[in-house]
Amino acid sequence: MKIDKKWIFLGLFILSLFLVFFVGRTTDPVTGKRQLSITTDGVKYFRKGLDVSGGTKLIYKIWYEKYEQIYTDAAELNAVKKTIEDIILKNIDKRISSLGVSDYKAYIQRLDEQNYINVEIGGIADLDQAKEIIGKTLELEFKLENKEAITPATIAARKAIAQKILNESKTNPDLMSKMLEWRASENIYMSFYSWTIDELPSIYKVNQQKLDTIKKDDFSQLFEGVYTTVTTQDALGNETGVDLKWYSFFQLIDKWTAVISWQEEKVYQLLDVFVQDKVTWVQAIDDNWDVLNGAYFRFANTSTSQIGEPVVAINFDEKWKEIFCNLTDKNIGNPMAIFIGWELLTSPVIQSKICWGTAQIDGSFTSESAKELATALNDWAMPAPLILMQEEKINPSLGNNALVWAMIAGLIGFIAIAVMMFIFYGFKKMILTTVTLLVFLTLLAGFIKITDYALSLSWIAAVILAIGMAEDANILIYERLKEELESWKSVWWAIDAARERSWSAIRDWQLSTGLIAFLLFTVGTNMFKGFWFMMLVTIALTLLVNVPLIQSLLHAFYNRNK
């Protein structure tokens, strides 16, 4: 049984009305994703963009310290920073797109000789989720064994690093943990202790007086010497003590007296930082001073080893392939460590020169854990860590009433079209046009609601333009209908002929506009992507809904035998 098109359009219209007025969004507390929900106030759940509703400005500091230690030439360092900034902005764009945000601004700002990433973002229901997604870093590092001997010069360099960390921690104590969470691969460790003096590292046992005199939330001075002794056991069961040294400091969180094992003892709660005297692994750098790191990362996928075990294959670009080839050629017989998320994952010995653009990681993976690591690398890989330094509210860039005035402009345009149709084509065709455009706009609103894209001024401008373009299609059909009726055809057959004669012109015109919209959406800046995406959606609705709907309505309004 063939279903009349007008009933299909009626069903889509009712479904869209339901989406607009009775469907909202809730945020899953576990996954952080927005899910559809039933509500009696669905209109307020349309996501709004930065320019019409304001939003939040997030300021991230790019942590360049390891690059600054490698590149001493200012011009070379600036070139490296520029490359890293471009990669970070590209990754942020991809991450924000996954949040369903159509309008945002992300740009580099330089203040006090430091580079910052500024992200202005609106239309986000869960800002904490957005901050986690935008700034999350999973750094990929390749390092070689440090064979440099410990000398007074290297000790002094480590002391300078420890002192710098202490100074920065005093300046920004709230950022202390964020600044240190990725430093383990540099043998810089941060720990939280809530222990008695006997359980604390050795260096604090010989400095208990300073623990007792320091005030809450204050930082200690820099201590030096044996931090603690780690006991290891060989295959024969013989124990050996290894001293970890050299510099440490702490921030006192709290201290109190507690009864432990029937006697009073002091409990110290502190945030501790330890900078070891030697770095175990150093950045892998070739003879051209190119650093082997995640800046050249393309994608990761799961695979299997020669013995059938799950592995993670990391794929890089041609530049990485060249650097890796040079490094493996010069370091045959030496181990190369792979750090992911600042944790040592594996350190295989280089057996031969490797000149292909893939690194294989095996680490007793299961199929699921290998897939999880590959997914994490694809989603979170960054060439440098980001620190959220500041968060502030921002006002709508186009004023608080921008959305209201845009809606008024759209309504005025809609009324103007109706008046024009009445003047040139009469009352009946004005009603048909009004009904067609109402269905068109309702289906569009339902699409926006179900996809959860943010409404911005660029989107609304595209919709207003699309109303005129959709109406032009109606006018073309009406003009062809007038010509067909002048040849003494019946109204019923004239409607079909008018639609057929006008279709090629409507199709070619809409598709040519759609091709331009697609190209500009693909290569254009984010500021205009919302406009061009909305143009693509409205063009599809014009061809799939507006044109066949006006034909069905004309048939419904005119007698078949007339």
Q: Are 398 and 457 in contact, with CB atoms under 8 Å apart?
A: yes
The amino acid present at 82, given as its one-letter code, is K
From residue 45, alpha-carbon distances to 97, 346, 455, 474, 539 in Å are: 19, 48, 11, 32, 25
Give the up-direction half-sphere exposure of residue 556: CA atoms within 13 A in the CB hemisphere.
15
From residue 272, alpha-carbon distances to 104, 198, 219, 275, 432 in Å are: 39, 16, 10, 10, 74
Strand 34-38 versus strand 310-316 pairing type:
unpaired
pLDDT of residue 105: 76
String of b and e for 343-375 (b: at least 16 CB within 10 Å)? eebebeebeeebeebbbebbeebeeeebbebbe
Q: Report the predicted TM-score, pTM, of the whole model to 2 decimal places.
A: 0.59
Name the phi and psi angles at 359, rounded to 5: -115, 130
The amino acid present at 155, given as its one-letter code, is I
Q: From the first residue on, what is the mean pLDDT of each consecutive set of 10 residues in the chain (562 residues)?
A: 69 86 70 69 74 76 79 80 83 70 72 80 64 73 86 88 89 80 83 85 85 87 84 63 83 84 83 88 83 77 78 80 85 84 79 78 76 76 79 64 74 84 84 87 86 74 81 85 77 83 86 85 68 84 85 76 48
Please report the beta strands in 354-497, taking only residues with DSSP state E, as ranges in sequence order.
Answer: 358-361, 381-382, 386-394
pLDDT of residue 235: 57
pLDDT of residue 396: 66
pLDDT of residue 1: 47
Residue 392, SS3 per DSSP = strand
CA 175 – CA 157 distance, rounded (Å):
23
pLDDT of residue 527: 59
Please report the beta strands in 261-309, taking only residues with DSSP state E, as ranges in sequence order.
Answer: 263-276, 281-283, 297-304
Structural domains present in the chain: 55-137 (3.30.300), 152-279 (no CATH), 282-383 (3.30.1360.200), 399-557 (1.20.1640.10)
Q: Are 326 and 166 in contact, with CB atoms under 8 Å apart?
A: no
pLDDT of residue 98: 61
Q: What is the pLDDT of residues 299-312, one digit of tens each?
A: 788 878 777 778 88
